[in-house]
Structure 1
Amino acid sequence: MAGKWVMGLGLCVMLAGGNAFAAQPTEAQVRELMQVMDVPGQFTVMNNQMAAMMSQQLPCVPANYWQTYIDKDGVNQLLTAMIPAYQHHFSAEEVDGLIKFYKSALGQKLVTQMPATMAEAAQSGQEWGRQRTSDMFAALQKEGKLDSQGRCPGTGGGQGQ
């Protein structure tokens, strides 16, 4: 009787677990996926953004110094470091499906349009956040919980004090 119970429990675990027993993608599969997703290109964009930020924060350091922050070795190191995460969250079959998608016309459109889409979405989010903060501060000022400078009344301190 106990043997049937254990077999039944094992079947339930297999059905509920979905990918629990699926084949893990190989390193080569994950690397191919990252290539068709243009992950190295995303590193270049990140590097350029970081370089611009660092050049502003440290103007005494030549701007071209930061351009090598994520150099070719850095790209390879980052890709290698990311592989286990993909292997943990996706099966070999799923990675194959993602590769097929990202090789398709729609997948490539996603890759090429995503940076601009995310930049526009981030700008919209920032605008929303500024307006939301302004509205909430106005309500708190109307209730007398914040003074006209956005500080707690009578404390002379900053926001939230």
Structure 2
Amino acid sequence: MTVGKWALGVGMCLALAAGPALAAQPSEAQVRELMQVMDVPGQFIAMNNKMAAMMSEQLPCVEASFWQTYIDKDGQEQLTKAMIPAYQHHFTADEVEGLIKFYKSSLGQKLVTQMPATMAEAAQAGQQWGRQRTSDMFAQLQKQGKLDAQGRCPGTAGDDSSGDAMPAPQSPAGGTGH
């Protein structure tokens, strides 16, 4: 076997082992099209509205309209450009084309329109579960004598500097879970 054939064989083995790593990276235009059919610009607007409402609450001395410009057209372009490399890193050109095809389908468009409400409901369920789970675990620790009635390690009552105090879990109604 000549050195050339050996090198060619090794190169082919390496190429086969690398597999998807050699697949074509999606172009910026492909990623932009995917982001468009996924309604990423609409998600930016929703993010902007939530952020503006939050900032208006925290800083009532600043006009609410000021925060509405946080993700303006320039900001959307900057954010889009910053996100493109992540898509290029995790997806091949063929995968992006498949995603574009899916998101253009009626099921893909339903996913786009229903996902914000679905995620909000799921987050609310997760928060409720977390409050109940925390309450149950605190009750278990209190029953075992590892926490007192205030959710503190025994012997640390009134000594907030120890760092041992745990906040009492909140019930969905806002009171303690006990």
**TM-score with structure 1 length normalisation?**
0.91
Structure 2 partner of 1:57: 58
Percentage of pairs with the same residue: 74
Q: Per-residue deviation at 1:61?
A: 1.4
Aligned length: 159
Q: Deviations over 1:98-126 (max 9, x none)?
A: 00000000000000000000000000000
Equivalent position SS for 2:86: helix
- Extract unaligned runs of 5+ from structure 1: none
CA–CA distance in structure 2, aligned partners of residues 130 and 5 of structure 1: 62
Q: Which runs of 4+ in 1 moved over 2 A?
A: 1-11, 13-18
- Extract unaligned runs of 5+ from structure 2: 168-178
Structure 2 partner of 1:124: 125
* Higher RCO by CA contacts (8 Å cutoff, separation 6 or greater): 1
Q: 1:10 to 1:159 in 2, by over 3 A?
A: farther
Structure 2 partner of 1:115: 116
2:77 partner letter: N
**TM-score with structure 2 length normalisation?**
0.82
Q: Report which of the two structures shows the higher radius of gyration computed on alpha carbons.
A: 2
Matched, 1:48 2:49: yes
CA–CA distance in structure 1, aligned partners of residues 145 and 17 of structure 2: 53
Q: 1:9 to 1:148 in 2, by over 3 A?
A: farther
Matched, 1:30 2:31: yes
RMSD: 1.9
